[in-house]
Amino acid sequence: MNETLSRFLEALRHSDLRISTAEILDAYRTVDIVGINDRSLLKDALALSVAKSSDEQERFDATFDQFFAHINVDMSDMLADANEPDPSEDESNTSDSSAGDAASSGGQGTPDDAAQTSPLDDFAASGNELNMLASMSRAAREVGLERMWIFTQKNLYTRRMLDEMGLAEFERRMRDTDAGDELDGMQNARERAFAMTREFVEREFDIFAADNGEKLREERLRDIRLQSIDQRDQERVRRILRRIAKRLISLYSRRRSKPMRGVLDVRKTLRKNYPNDGHLFELHWRRKRIKEPDVMVICDVSRSVSALSRFLLYFVHSLGEIIPKLRSFMLCSDLVESTDLFDQNSLDEAIDQALKRVMLGSTDYGQALVDFDNIALSDVSRRTSIIILGDARSNETNPRVDLMQKLHDRAKFIMWLNPEPRTFWGTGDSEMLRYMPYTHFARPTSSVRDLERAATALLQSALR
């Protein structure tokens, strides 16, 4: 059971459960206590000691069912180790009989003369699927099936396992056998062995490696330009963003206040020392409350930037737990506020509706700043952080840098995310270089990784 259990824990890790060494020890102790005979008890008990959230619980249940659906293999493996399988005497007859029959009857008949004992021979002779499963487990260990990493390797490993079980020898003997019942039987057995091994490999792959391809893909998606992302990858990117958001939330939600070194909190000190007859034994220092940040997002939604804007909005809204006060604005030829849309609708609908509100035409950053000045400048305070996402291509209109400067003077933090690479800034109608002096943070931003970096910078400064 030990090996099986550790393989099971390994499988759990593959389905994204975080299992520490201490939990592995717990799992072993648990199994010692409850035994392995009652499967539902075993499942409950292991779930309690290993799965640590309701989310993990679900994944545990799924993995348990998947894994132990084929655990009989390993049990029979142990049995097989104990008493060697005894092949039956009448080759052709038994191999023709149905699989269910052979499996249930186990190894029947008298021992063979043991001239050839490769697993495939045994299988052809007895048709005993249980023994075959045991042999496959052994072969899997020999060829290192756990190293299988990506789905294209399935065929390779199937072949290797068959070779390990004596396929070459078996096929050679098949060629020597004359046509007839015996050859038919062998062919039949060979086909079934192929199918079974293939199935075995598939199952192992599903448990241990199925998500590797996905992981590779996600890793690649982090660096891809979001503006030109495939429709089918959008959901994946969102999943990545959600995960990043979750991490950032847990990282930045902890601190609500920070100590101010050396500033005595007189009131608290007096209050806390009343029991000491007024003698000031315990000192208490003043703490500075970290206030909830105000964040305003201004997104360019013209065609060249809109896809990226969607992801940014999605990302910022996923951070809602630490940025409860979020206002969003859409910018194209003019600028409109879209905060209310996000309160009422799902994110996608909100963005679609916001796009209807804004005048789609040639972008005009100067006009947008004038609009922003009218709508929201009075709400910009020393607590406000502003994110602007756009290429700063203003189509040769007045960029109104003076308004940008005003904004810079009032706000705590201004971040400009530009989807263009730095070398393009200031070329043609780009006003980026003129706006840049009035930002605290300006970076080319096009991928998930860039978004993550920007969010970290935002939180670090906003929660200060």
Partner 1 sequence: MGESKSVSTDRIAKLESVERISTGFAGHGYISSPRISTAVFLSQQLEKPVLVEGPAGVGKTELAKTAATYLDLPLIRMQCYEGLDESKALYEWKYAKQLLYTQILKEHLHALTGDSTNLGQALAKLEDLDDIFFSEQFLEPRPLLRALREPHGCVLLIDEIDKADEEFEAFLLEILSDYQITVPELGTISAIHPPLVFLTSNNTREMSDALKRRCLHLHIPFPDRKLETLIVEQRVPQVPERLRNQLVNFVQGLRGLDLRKLPSVAETIDWARTLLLMHTDELGPDVVRNTLNVLLKFEEDIEVAEREVAALVRAARDPNALRPA
Compare residues 272 and 406 and give the one whose CB is closer to partner 1: 272
Residue 333 · residue 362 · CB < 8 Å: yes
CB of 287 to partner 1, least distance (A): 13
One character per residue 224-263, x = contact with partner 1 (rule: CB under 8 A): --------------------------x---x---------
Q: HSE, CB side, 13 Å, CA atoms: give it for residue 105.
A: 17
For partner 1, which is the closer residue by CB, 53 or 155? 53
Cβ nearer to partner 1, comparing 217 with 246: 246
- Stretch near partner 1 under the rule CB under 8 A, chosen from 4-12, 15-23, 149-157, 384-392: 15-23
Residue nearer to partner 1 on the CB measure, 278 or 421: 278
DSSP state at residue 277: T
Q: Over the Cα atoms of the chain, what is R_g?
A: 33
Within 349-408, which residues bind partner 1 (CB under 8 A)?
none
Examine residue 105 and tell whether it contacts partner 1 (CB under 8 A).
no
Nearest to 285 by CA among 267, 306, 304: 267
Tell me the CA distances in angstroms from 333 to 86, 313, 369, 374, one per residue in order.
Answer: 84, 19, 11, 15
Q: How far apart are CA 426 and CA 403, in angstroms?
A: 19
Rama region for 24: left / alpha / beta (φ>0; ψ in -120 to 50; rest): alpha
**Between residue 20 and residue 79, which ones bind partner 1 under the rule CB under 8 A?**
20, 22-23, 26, 29-30, 33-34, 40-41, 44-45, 47-49, 51-54, 57
Cβ distance to partner 1 smaller for residue 40 or 423: 40
With respect to partner 1, which residue has the nearer C-beta, 7 or 52?
52
Side-chain half-sphere exposure of 204, counting CA atoms within 13 A: 27
Taking the complex as a whole, the smallest distance from the CB of residue 14 to partner 1 amounts, in Å, to 19
Residue number with CB closer to partner 1 (53 or 117): 53
Neighbouring C-beta atoms of residue 220, cutoff 10 Å: 10
Shortest reach from residue 244's CB to partner 1, in Å: 16
Site for partner 1 in 275-294 (CB under 8 A): 275-277
Cβ-based burial of 296 (10 A; exposed 0-12, middle 13-18, buried ≥19): buried
Q: Are 366 and 396 in contact (CB under 8 A)?
A: no
Q: Applying CB under 8 A, which residues contact partner 1?
A: 18, 20, 22-23, 26, 29-30, 33-34, 40-41, 44-45, 47-49, 51-54, 57, 250, 254, 275-277
